[in-house]
Structure 1
Amino acid sequence: MEVEEEDRLDTWVGDAKSAEEAGKVGTARAILAYTLRVFPDRKSIWQKAAELEKVHGTRESMLAVLSRAVHHCPQAEVLWLMSAKEQWLAGDVSGARKTLEEAFVANPESEQIWLAAVKLEAENGELEVARELLSRARKVADTERIWMKAAVFERQQGQITAALSLLDTALTKYPKFAKLYMIKGQIHQAKTDYIAARAAYTAGVKACPKEVTLWVLASRLEEADGKSIKARALLDKSRLVNPKNDILWAEAVGVEERSGGSAQAKTLLSRGTFTLLLFCL
């Protein structure tokens, strides 16, 4: 009563929250139910209703809300994922699988749904199914994260050649995605193939000079290869590109400490502290 039409949604949601906080769960549930009758296409309200049931209701009541939610908001990935997750946690793997299959129909290019399906199959021992899903995902959704996850999956299964092949293909499609260079470098470094690892990190810092983690990995590779001077030079170069980054300064101090140069480490620490303070002024 006496609420302008454009203010109804915010007012009702606020009232539901206040009712829940006051312990009036039935009232909060009723307010959200009415709100959803008026605004059935608002995924955020369905999410609030599902979360209310998760806290104060049962898994069955929560799944019932989510079943209605995906009917009204089929493109809301988060609602599908919430439903599949709750089914999985309840031990209903086939139910979760069916929910994700329905989610694919409504959202065929959804990265999140593809990766959720892969995780479901992989963690339930269906490795070949997971691998096939990743193959299909690369064709249908074709995102940088899907390519990365596919490479990581093969690496975890010990299929190093397949992982490197996927990374090489992915880098031709997404040359600015830093994590691909990181994974490639780490795979080669784990094999003690320092030349190939160095090539991966060098290409990475060239393509993504603002990615601090790549500089750190490149520097640590040189340390592992007994080349502290080269590690130091890399970090000097990284700070020219990223002068405000405290992680790179700290890493440079660490290189000096690990190489036995405590005096140099203290000097570098003072320089870094002074430089970062200047940027804060």
Structure 2
Amino acid sequence: MARSVPVRSGLGRWVQSYLMMTRWEIGSLRREFPLIIALQIVIGGGFALGIGLFFDRMPARNALFLSTGVAVVTLITVGMVLGPQLVSNQKVAGTYDFLWSLPVPRTTQAAAWLTVNTIIAIPGMVVALVIADARYDLSLHVSAAIVPAVLLTIGTATLIGYAFAHAISKPMVTMMITQLLVFTILGFSPINFPPENLPGWLATVNEWLPFEHMAAVVRAALTDGLVVDVVRSYLILGIYAALSTMVAAWVIGRRR
């Protein structure tokens, strides 16, 4: 009589599934993965150098805002622009439905996606800061808070991108939203410049959007005295992360 093989469950199965999904996500991008990371490095470093060409001599405060802001932009764009575009490519290629048919906890798929986005984003952020520091002779004061600040920023950005990428069925619509986000992030969000540079009404709007607060928590961990109320920024980012998680859970929970 054949003996039945017990099905693993609990934490051990979750960890095994998470590692498998992480390998699958990286493996599915095996040809593009090095290029994607290199592109993020070039974008981060190039942006830090390119913006400086607009100024003969940049004030120290402006240089700090620009340099730390560029690092934040690399984190945000990976989570909210590149990530959703990769999901759209999965839908077009036909691997999206296969991914969700795998017999693994769905939370492991989200965790693997967050891990991959973090691996992609961190090198670009570090290189952008190194180049900006060399170019503008910055006075950076890196604290231990950089770890939770970066993880919360890339985590929140990824969860927001993850939520709308899975909620929107048409890849073309997702791509259009990501392009709009790039325009909004670079032009109308106080990431690379102080909030007081914006019109009053737009500055007020940004107080309730996540972008300014992503910049605030990272900037507070990289500088001394440039950010005042960082607690509120952590709170707002936590709310956005929780809401995005609930939306994503609702969307993927509808799949059978």
TM-score for the superposition, normalised by structure 1: 0.23
Task: State which structure, 1 or 2, has the greater radius of gyration over its C-alpha atoms.
Answer: 1
TM-score for the superposition, normalised by structure 2: 0.24
Q: Which has the higher contact order (CA 8 A, sep 6+)?
A: 2
